[in-house]
Amino acid sequence: MNVPEATALIADTVCEAARDGARLMEAAAAGANVLTEADVLPGVPDIVGEVKVEAMFDDGTRMVVVRNPFGEGAGLGSQGPGAVLAAAREPSPPPGLVHLTVVNTSDVPVSITSHFHFFEVNQRLSFDRAAAYGMRLAIPAGAAQRFEPGEATDAPLVPVGGARVAIGFAGLVDGPLDAPGAKAAALARAVAQGYLGAEA
């Protein structure tokens, strides 16, 4: 039997037991004992962990919940339908990964989020700005990395993806990152505005 067939038979058994005068727990037990794992297709016990049915008893309608309808421990477990099977492989570094040493010269901690154009981060962070052009932190989306005052911190960076357009941030680029002359113009703006590490 497949999922709809097994669910229908269990629900029907519960309703029939209720009509025949069974009490709530007796009707649930009848539904739980009508099928075994051997009666259904592989994976069905993993999908149908319980069956809920409104049944008409002598004293009115009641919700009957049949838990583990194919027996305790039935199913394929971690190999069942919808299981996440992780591939056995060594994680490889993302393409274009570079590491820069960043020193926070300010008096307060500075946090940088995952998708901020790293070239344009806080002026008081000292690092090779030219090497960070077109890069972002290689950390999970939405996460942030904290740079403590006076400390040298490793910053893993990867190239910005997609259309590679940097709009906003500190306004040093405001356009396509790879346009002719864009990097040189952005570096000149950074030097003029006092960004540490932007000097040639």
In a domain, 13, yes or no: yes
Q: Is residue 117 part of a domain?
A: yes
Domain identity same for 55 and 10 = yes
Same domain? 104 vs 174: yes
Of 20, 53, 71, the domain-final residue: 71
For residues 102 and 186, state if they share a domain.
Answer: yes
Evaluate if residue 129 carries a pLDDT over 70: yes
Identify whether the C-beta of residue 66 lies closer than 8 Å to the C-beta of residue 121. Answer: no
Q: What pLDDT does 72 receive? A: 85
31 domain-assigned: yes
Do 78 and 127 touch, CB atoms closer than 8 A?
A: no
Quick check: is 124 in a domain? yes
Tell me the pLDDT of the chain averaged across its residues. 93
Cα(145)–Cα(87) distance, rounded to whole angstroms? 29
pLDDT computed for residue 200 by the predictor = 60
104 and 49 within one domain = no
pLDDT score, position 110: 96
Q: How confident is the model at residue 152 (pLDDT cuts 50, 70, 90)?
A: very high
Task: Give the torsion sign (CA, 134, 139, 140, 145).
Answer: negative
Q: What is the pLDDT of residues 21-33, one digit of tens each?
A: 999 999 999 999 9
- Tell me, yes or no, whether 187 lies in a domain: yes
Do 129 and 103 touch, CB atoms closer than 8 A? no
Q: What pLDDT is stored for residue 134 in this prediction?
A: 97
CATH number for the domain harbouring residue 60: 3.30.280.10
Task: Work out how many domains the chain is built from and give that number.
Answer: 2
Domain CATH number, residue 185: 2.10.150.10
Q: Is 98 in a helix, a strand, or coil?
A: strand
Distance CA 115, CA 139 (A): 9
pLDDT one-digit tens code per residue, 70-125: 988 888 877 777 777 777 777 788 899 999 999 999 999 999 999 999 999 999 99
What are the pLDDT digits (tens) for 30-75? 999 999 999 999 989 989 999 999 999 998 999 999 999 998 888 8
Q: What's the chain's Rg over C-alpha atoms?
A: 31
Domain, as residue range, for 13 = 3-71
Q: Which tokens is 57 given?
A: 């008893």
> Is 56 part of a structural domain of the chain?
yes
Instruction: Please state, in angstroms and rounded to a whole number, the distance separating the CA atoms of residues 153 and 48.
Output: 51
Q: Are residues 187 and 107 in the same domain?
A: yes
Tell me what the mean pLDDT of segment 175-191 comes to.
96
Length of the chain: 200
Query: Which residue, of 36, 71, 106, is where some domain finishes?
Result: 71
Answer whether residue 83 is part of any domain.
no
* Residue 157 shares a structural domain with residue 112: yes
Residues 177 and 110 in one domain: yes
Residues 133 and 58 placed together within one structural domain of the fold = no
User: Quick check: is 80 in a domain?
Assistant: no
